[in-house]
């Protein structure tokens, strides 16, 4: 699994960055990193694909980036509705997908 920090918390209006660390065989191999938001009791929702792109309907407060084997999700202007679990994922050189363990975002 990709490695994510377990949790992060911040106040409304602040910015947070979640990291997702993989290897040369996944994040470092392709630009096929995606991020998913899962609000409690709901199915996950795609918020970032292709490392940096946003689906339609996703706020531009969400942005993605990558450096080497680590991907990042930044949420700026944090809002109460952003409170959720966030999962990264990557396609791999073995033609499989792998998810991160998830990061719980708490809005104080």
Partner 1 sequence: EVQLVESGGVLVNPGGSLRLSCEGSGFVFANAWMNWVRQAPGKGLEWVGRIRAFAQGGTTDFAAPFQGRFSVSRHDDGNTMYLMMTGLKIEDTALYYCTTEGFTYGFHSHDSWGQGTLVTVSS
Q: Which of residues 40-59 bind partner 1 (CB under 8 A)?
A: 43-46, 49-50, 53, 55
Helix spans in the chain (H): none
Of 74, 83, 86, residue with least CA distance to 2:
86
Q: Is 102 in the site for partner 1 (CB under 8 A)?
A: yes
Applying CB under 8 A, which of residues 27, 34, 75, 84 lies at the interface with partner 1? 34
CA distances from 17 to 29, 44, 48, 80, 93 (A): 22, 19, 14, 16, 26
Q: Is 95 in the site for partner 1 (CB under 8 A)?
A: yes
Applying CB under 8 A, which of residues 25, 32, 66, 69 lies at the interface with partner 1? 32
Q: Is 22 in the site for partner 1 (CB under 8 A)?
A: no
Rounded CA separation 1/99 (Å): 6
| Nearest-approach distance from CB 11 to partner 1, in angstroms | 26
Q: Is 37 in the site for partner 1 (CB under 8 A)?
A: no
Rounded CA separation 77/6 (Å): 21
* Tokens (6 digits) for 90: 């990557």
**Binding region for partner 1 (CB under 8 A):** 1, 30, 32, 34, 36, 38, 43-46, 49-50, 53, 55, 85, 87, 89, 91, 95-102
């Amino acid at each position: 699994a990709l490695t994510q920090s377990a949790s992060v918390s911040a106040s409304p209006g602040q910015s947070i960055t979640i990291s997702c660390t993989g290897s040369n065989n996944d994040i470092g191999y392709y630009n096929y990193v995606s991020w998913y938001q899962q609000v409690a009791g709901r199915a996950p929702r795609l918020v970032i694909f292709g490392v940096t792109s946003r689906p339609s309907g996703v706020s531009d407060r969400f942005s993605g980036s990558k450096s080497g084997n680590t991907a990042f999700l930044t949420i700026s202007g944090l809002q109460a509705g952003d409170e959720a679990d966030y999962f990264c994922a990557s396609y791999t050189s073995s033609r499989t997908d792998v998810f991160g363990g998830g990061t719980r975002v708490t809005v104080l």
